[in-house]
């Protein structure tokens, strides 16, 4: 496993001053941008034009999490918009291998997400095509939801499959990650942690990023 990374989600930040919000978390490894289309999930956020403006406003790379239908057609626009990593949902992709290759060829890290009820096993052979696998630990759509412990065995199984294939694919968790839950995720084998409300509801968001990182590192060392 590489070093542990913290990628705060701006879903719970103030959308009226996103550039300022992102400037409050210089310790973040990535900025996680949740793109929602009101079809794949019952919530609507922003599209490539806004993501492109955000990418121009910060030195921190953007980690796009696309919760949108027809990922095959829509995902490449987020590489164009300047995202360093683009995650599509396997439930929304018709040809995930072709799409992952397209994202990589366009110059971004390719990542695939699984909803809580989507198993990892059918996708074992796809793992070498991916730079990162995202295992959702809430139903996608909203920030501030309760962490689903039932996803932990899937994180363990995914890590075991990556070890079996000897690949360096990052394993991201997203949803309900906080000081109370991050250790469980790290112990199970996650190495990239999305945290939205935990970071942006903190008085000092950058201190929370550091605290989350310390907890995860402690769990891995133990």
Ligand X SMILES: O=C(CO)[C@@H](O)[C@H](O)COP(=O)(O)O
- What residues act catalytically? 34, 174
166 is in an annotated binding site: no
- Segment contacting Fe ion by CB under 5 A, of 17-25, 100-108, 122-130, 171-179: 171-179
Closest CA to 174 of 74, 73, 41: 41
Indicate the helix (H) or strand (E) that contains 17. Answer: none
Cα–Cα dist 34/85, whole Å: 12
Structure tokens given for 155: 């994180």
User: Which of ligand X, Fe ion, none interacts with 68 (beta carbon under 5 to 8 A by kind)?
Assistant: none
Q: CB count, 10 Å around CB of 118? A: 15
CB-based contacts of 101, cutoff 8 Å, min separation 6: 110, 129
144 is in an annotated binding site: yes
Asked if 175 interacts with ligand X (CB under 6 A), we say: yes
Question: Binding of ligand X at residue 116 (CB under 6 A)?
Answer: no
Cβ atoms of residues 24 and 56 within 8 Å: no
145 binds ligand X (CB under 6 A): yes
Among Fe ion, ligand X, none, what binds residue 144 when CB lies within 5 to 8 Å by partner kind?
ligand X
Angstrom distance (rounded) from CA 22 to CA 83: 15
32 is in an annotated binding site: yes
Per CB under 6 A, which region of 53-61, 90-98, 142-150, 153-161 contacts ligand X? 142-150
Piece of 116-124, 182-190, 191-199, 209-217 that binds ligand X (CB under 6 A): 191-199
For residues 182 and 214, is the Cβ–Cβ distance under 8 A? Answer: no
Which of ligand X, Fe ion, none interacts with 138 (beta carbon under 5 to 8 A by kind)? ligand X
For residues 175 and 148, the answer to whether their CB atoms sit within 8 Å is: yes
The count of chain residues that interact with ligand X, using the rule CB under 6 A, is 23
Question: Is 89 among the residues that bind Fe ion (CB under 5 A)?
Answer: no
As annotated, the binding site for a divalent metal cation includes: 32, 34, 65, 174
Residues that bind ligand X (CB under 6 A): 9, 11-12, 32, 34, 65, 67, 138, 140-145, 174-177, 194-198
């Amino acid at each position: 496993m590489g070093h542990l990374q913290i990628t705060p989600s701006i879903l719970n930040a103030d959308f009226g001053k996103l550039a300022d919000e992102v400037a409050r978390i210089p310790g973040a490894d990535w900025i996680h941008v949740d793109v929602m289309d009101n079809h794949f999930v019952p919530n609507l956020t922003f599209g490539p034009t806004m993501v492109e403006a955000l990418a121009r406003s910060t030195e921190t790379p953007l980690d796009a999490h696309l919760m949108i239908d027809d990922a095959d057609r829509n995902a490449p626009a987020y590489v164009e918009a300047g995202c360093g990593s683009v995650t599509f949902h396997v439930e929304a992709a018709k040809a995930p291998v072709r799409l992952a290759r397209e994202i990589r060829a366009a110059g971004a890290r390719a990542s695939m997400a699984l909803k809580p009820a989507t198993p990892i096993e059918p996708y074992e052979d796809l793992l070498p095509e991916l730079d990162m696998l995202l295992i959702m630990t809430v139903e996608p759509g909203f920030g501030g939801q309760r962490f689903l412990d039932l996803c932990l065995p899937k994180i363990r199984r995914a890590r075991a499959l990556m070890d079996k294939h000897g690949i360096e694919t990052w394993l991201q968790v997203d949803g309900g990650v906080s000081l109370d839950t991050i250790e469980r995720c790290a112990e199970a084998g996650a190495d990239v942690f999305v945290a939205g409300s935990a970071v942006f509801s903190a008085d000092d968001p950058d201190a929370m990023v550091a605290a989350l990182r310390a907890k995860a590192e402690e769990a891995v060392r133990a």
